[in-house]
Chain A
């Protein structure tokens, strides 16, 4: 039976400002949902709120995995429940190697089946290969000095290693060259199975040619204004967001962009 994550009438904000104004979504394992929407519409806020970023405050509503509310859990316990966030801006952690970090994470999320260093290494190397990353990245410090694209690839490597039940990928396709986009898509597809539900936040139709969503949702000013099938993404590519109710003027996209 499929696992389900449910977002129910979610209101959330940051620094006293309400950003999400009633978001409801339901994602089952085996499904891919694309989340699109103008800059500043609240996509990253949704991702952070789902994962439990301490700066993002939940005002009302609920997030449930298989019917069980996770909103009072710290981020690490949400991870243990199977939730993963691919960051729009991955953080750099100097002095902590990617492979050490991932092995510790892997063992933390799979307490009953920890992996030996050697086996883990092999697995990691396979994942690097899928996204076309040199294995030397394993011993480099986590994201430190990685290029924008390398950081995104490394997020996909982490995703592939940790194999969560639900992955929220926040603009994992941004900043990638054409070849890299293909490789990252391969990476995502390599984990795409009946066992994982994906929420793919993106601005571009491009990645959706490789990673094919069954559902597309458009977030505008903190609300899901339109939902549909893959054809919706194409329409957005052609016509932009202005035809969607509530998005005619673009005050939000003119709002200052904050690196979250």
Chain B
């Protein structure tokens, strides 16, 4: 029966319109969706080295999505309770495609003027704010084909608002579990008013299914505000992930991105930090641990528009088995961005002869008096490092594992949750030994203990004694 319905549905203007109306969306949003679909249909197919060169097909297009629209929830999928396991007290949502659970104390945020809600509530209660965001949309639908597709079809979302001057020490959290092959399209908006500070920490897990997840994240960082966005991507190894992220930073505004890629069959991620006000800055730390046939196609750009802006990007990838990654970064320094400073580094460790990685740094500088540096490397683990560790009694495999963990530590140590850091270590441990899938329980033999873990190093990792190989 479901089969028959499936045949009839077309994702077209009418579909989008009907969907928007069924959700009681304001008319501007309906129009936005329809325009986005038009952009999607007119924009050319995206090209990627990773897909053509290594013959990977993302397989995300309308006919495929139409087929998947009415997929059923995987009966083996975890319950909300199971998904929430281990999460520390704080402000969080736990969610699947069909259900959402909010931690009780989210209500407390009201009194602080903080908004933290899902799409449904955002439309119902905060449509003014949403309207303001869509007027200055950081990622307009015509930015790229997948951003357009997401903008037409997103059916989930998270809205975060930090009012003027508010400093929130606890990160807001969203833990999402992909429980069906039904395509998941979400948008996340973080709006940080002048002088505010806050963080959003998100995690994506999934059942062992061929899922599709498309996630668009925007940060509006007003003058003197500071936003930290962290994401751990740990979907099943059959899931395709499409991501667009962008931050607009006002005067002395600061964005921090901490991104960990562990899951997915393929992830294609486009990120941009834009400095529109003088003195704005960004730090983007991305770590990849690929195994099996996983593919990661990652882009991180810095757009220096204003003066005295500072951007730092580090992407460290570890690739096992036949996994592959491409990391592309572009530093753009505009003609008015005097005294700006940009640093871009992409490093990879290959653990197998079949693993591959490319780092492609680019520079586009239209003014003098700036400092822009980049570095890139792809190598195996240094045998002398392995030897050094072995002389202290560690077996070869352990030694390698520690070197690799150390290599991605700059990203992991910055995750503001001890429980999540432990989960990541356990996950890497599992991947190291060739196991896949969601690691629910953290093994007791934690690799790094509390002492150095708990301390998220506050100093700038690009300065001082740190050095990247």
Contact = CB atoms under 8 A, between A and B. Distances in A.
Interface in B441-469: 448-452, 455, 464-469
Nearest to B457: A139
Contacts of B398: 104, 108
B469 A76 contact: no
Interface string A112-145: 0000010001000000000000000001111011
Given A55-B383, A93-B388, A144-B466, A100 B394 contact: no
Contacts of A174: none
A99 B452 contact: yes
A95 B407 contact: yes
Interface string A80-94: 100011010011111
A105 interface: yes
A156 to B, nearest CB: 14
Contacts, number: 111
Given A51-B391, A101-B402, A93 B385 contact: yes
B408 A95 contact: yes
Nearest to A48: B387
Contacts of B394: 76, 104-105, 108
Contacts of B468: 94
A195 to B, nearest CB: 17
A109 B388 CA distance: 15
Contacts of B385: 91-93
A187 interface: no
Contact of A76 (B382, B383, B393, B409): B393
B382, B395, B406, B450: residue with the most chain A Cβ atoms closer than 10 Å: B406
A54, A91, A139: residue with the most chain B Cβ atoms closer than 10 Å: A91
B452 to A, nearest CB: 5
B384 A76 contact: no
Interface residues on B, range: 35 or more
A103 B392 CA distance: 10
Interface string B166-187: 0000000000000000000000
B407 A117 contact: no
A26 interface: no
Interface string B397-436: 0110011011111100000000000000000000000000
Contacts of B383: 54-55
A105 B393 contact: yes
B318 to A, nearest CB: 11
Contacts of A184: none
Contact of B392 (A94, A97, A117, A158): A158
Contacts of A108: 392-395, 398
A158 B410 CA distance: 24
Contacts of B465: 140-141, 144-146
A53 interface: yes
Nearest to A76: B390
Interface string A135-164: 000011110111000000000001000100
Contact of B387 (A53, A146, A158): A53
Contacts of A146: 465
B389 interface: yes
Given A100-B449, A144-B466, 6 more contacts: A54-B387, A76-B392, A76-B393, A91-B387, A100-B448, A162-B392
Interface of A: 51, 53-55, 74-76, 78-80, 84-85, 87, 90-97, 99-105, 108-109, 117, 121, 139-142, 144-146, 158, 162
6 contacts: A76-B396, A91-B384, A92-B385, A94-B406, A97-B448, A117-B450
List 7 tightest A-B contacts by C-beta distance, closest first.
A95-B406, A145-B465, A95-B409, A105-B392, A108-B393, A75-B390, A96-B406
